[in-house]
Amino acid sequence: MEKTTNFTELALKSLFSVTLIGAGVAAFFILGKGQSKPDQPPPDDTRIVNVSPAALEDSEIQFEVDGVVVPYREIQLAAEVAGRVTDKPSDFRVGRMVHKGDTVALIDRRDYELELERLQEELQQANNNITETDVQISSTNGQIALAQENLAIQEKSRERFEKLFKSKATTEVSVDDAKQAEITARTTLQTHQDQLNLLRATKARLQSVCDRIRSEIAAAKLQLDRTSIQSPIDGIVVEDTFEQDSYLQKGTALCTIRDTSKLEIKCSLQPYQMKWLWESALGSENSSKRGAYELPETDVSVRYRLGKDVFVWSGRLTRYDGGQIDQQTRMIPCRVQVDNPMQVGKLVVNEQDGTETVEPVSNVPTLMVGMYVQVKVNVKLNTPLVRVPLSAIFPGNQLWIVEDEKLRRRQVSVLVTQGDSAIVYADENAVLPGESIVVSSLTSPFNGAKVKIVEAKE
């Protein structure tokens, strides 16, 4: 009985499976009887685009970099002589302005005055000794003249006695006495001549002594002048480390004065911005004379925003700051020099056309060290440029142009963006003036795609 039941269940399962297979085959044939529609042509793939012509741009471009004001130079004054500070101006303090020649400190000068007087007395004594020696030289010259006359007389006397001796008119003793007198006269003359040479040597030594004392007097006067310490420049006191009545050793630092006649801006340029500067300098008169580590001087404007006002100073991009690339930012440090920080103007922007003018002002503070400013650089390139809409630049610095009603992709090099425009190099492999630039959005564009140009709706 159990076997019969199992067989029945198996038969039912098999029948159910065959039924499902048959139903599937029948559905396939029924659905397959429908007639297929003939192939339809693909829809029209023409893109609708708006274009704008590439405009030839003046080769002068502008770019801005951030900078910070730093001192042009700072001078540290130190005591050049030792002594007690006898006077210090009451208004000489940190933050005060000083002018060239203003007294910073006076050091007790009495010791240096006494030393100068002593040397002057020594010089007077040396001059007196020279005068005395001149008198002795003059006297010796007179004695030499007399000795020469005496020698001449004794020579004639000797010759006369020798003639008399030959004629047997005198004795040999008389001849010997005449020779002895000649020798004595000659010895006297030689003594006076030696004395004259000694006096001349003494005078030369005394003159050397005078020269040495004069040098010492000049040094003493210099030391005396150094007791008055004066400011060598116009500037502002940024450090003051001494007080009146304090004793100073030679070399003691007194103060630091910052030059305010000029200031510098420390800024950094991107390598491509530096390339623009190099390109602008090609063909100039000084380009062949410029060294490898000399920056082509370029006029710039330094701008500082104070509230809603923008103040402007004229400056010059003058030199590299170290002649190397910053290892962290990979930028090139440079210095801008402002020759007249007191000459400042106020930026005025025309609301209608956006043009900028600078009006001179005189009632605002000058540039101060530590200010964060913007440096605007104007560069005149020697290569043609075109202006294209910024909306036409696709990721990767690519844009699309319309040529023979077809899309063409171009790779461009963007120099700088200005508002809703971009300045790019004009090149036959990139874009040329007058070419139609696609400014509308594109979906999956590709080279050669057909396009239809329509005017943009206002």
Answer yes or no: is 4 within a domain.
Answer: no
Average pLDDT on 397-425 reads 84
40/430: higher pLDDT: 430
Among 17-21, 51-55, 351-355, the least confident range:
17-21
Tokens matching residue 203: 């005078």
Residue 98 is assigned to a structural domain of this protein: yes
Answer whether residue 36 shows pLDDT above 50.
no
Classify burial at 161, counting beta carbons within 10 Å of its beta carbon; exposed 0-12, middle 13-18, buried 19 or more.
Answer: buried
Is residue 28's pLDDT more than 70? no
Q: What's the rounded mean pLDDT across residues 115-124? A: 95
Residue 218 and residue 150 share a domain: yes
Question: Lowest-confidence range among 103-112, 354-363, 405-414?
Answer: 354-363
| pLDDT above 60 for 202 | yes
What is the average per-residue pLDDT within 181-193? 91
- Indicate whether 11 belongs to any domain: no
For the segment 68-78, the average pLDDT, to the nearest whole number, is 94
Model confidence at 323: pLDDT above 90:
no
pLDDT grade for 56, boundaries at 50, 70 and 90: confident
Domain-located, residue 239: yes
Residue 43 falls inside a structural domain? no
pLDDT of residue 1: 46
The confidence score (pLDDT) of residue 8 equals: 62
Pick 246 or 434 by higher pLDDT: 246
The pLDDT assigned to 422 comes to 85
| 389 shares its domain with 375 | no
Answer yes or no: is pLDDT of 35 > 50.
no
Q: What is the mean pLDDT of residues 325-337?
A: 92
* CATH at 188: 1.10.287
pLDDT mean over 118-141: 94
CATH of the domain at 322: 2.40.30.170
Q: 364 and 296, same structural domain?
A: yes
The verdict on 134 and 166 lying in the same domain is yes
Q: What is the CATH number of the domain that holds 255?
A: 2.40.50.100
Task: Choose the weakest-confidence range: 54-58, 126-130, 269-273.
Answer: 54-58
Res 176: pLDDT: 87
Whole-model pTM: value is 0.68
Q: In terms of domains, do 118 and 209 share one? A: yes
Say yes or no: 372 and 434 in one domain: no
Q: Is the dihedral of CA 78, 80, 83, 88 positive or negative?
A: negative
The reply to whether 175 and 185 lie within a common domain is: yes
Residue 308 or residue 120, greater confidence:
120
Task: With respect to residue 307, please indicate whether it lies within any of the assigned structural domains.
Answer: yes
34 located within any domain: no
Percent above pLDDT 70 for the chain: 86
pLDDT of 3: 47
Please enumerate, as own/partner, the contacts of 322-328 that have beta carbons within 8 Å and a separation of 24 or more. Answer: 323/293, 325/271, 326/268
In the predicted model, what is the mean pLDDT of residues 22-34?
58
More confident residue, 355 or 42: 355
Same domain, 210 and 140: yes
- Tell me the pLDDT tens digit for each residue of 274-321: 888 887 776 555 555 566 778 888 899 999 998 888 999 999 999 898
135-168 pLDDT, tens digit each? 999 999 999 999 999 999 988 988 888 888 888 8
393 vs 420: CA distance, rounded Å: 11
- pLDDT greater than 70 at residue 240: yes
Q: Is the domain of 217 the same as that of 233?
A: no
Residue 440, domain CATH: 2.40.420.20
Q: Is the pLDDT of residue 402 over 50?
A: yes
Sign of the torsion formed by the C-alpha atoms of 390, 391, 392 and 395: positive
Q: Are residues 97 and 179 in the same domain?
A: no
Instruction: Using the predicted structure, report yes or no on whether residue 39 has a pLDDT greater than 60.
Output: no
- When divided into structural domains, the chain yields a total of 4
> Which of 38-52, 83-97, 207-221 shows the lowest per-residue confidence on average (mean pLDDT)?
38-52
**Phi, psi angle pair for 201, to nearest 5°:** -65, -40
Quickly tell me which residue has 């040529």 as its tokens: 403
Range of the domain at 342: 61-71+262-380
Q: Look at residue 296 and tell me if it is in a domain.
A: yes
- Encode pLDDT of 343-401 as tens digits: 888 888 887 777 788 888 877 778 889 999 999 998 888 778 888 888 888 888 888 88
High-pLDDT (> 90) share of the chain, %: 44
pLDDT at 84 over 90: yes
**Domain boundary, last residue among 178, 202, 225:** 225
pLDDT at 9: 62
Higher local confidence (pLDDT), 175 or 7: 175
Answer yes or no: do 353 and 329 share one domain. yes
Report the mean per-residue pLDDT for the chain. Answer: 85
pLDDT of 356: 80
- Do 272 and 369 fall into the same domain? yes
**Orientation of helix 110-166 relative to helix 172-225, angle to 10°:** 170
- Structure-model confidence comparison of residues 416 and 90, the more confident one: 90
Of 99-103, 291-295, 372-376, 438-442, the poorest mean pLDDT is in 291-295
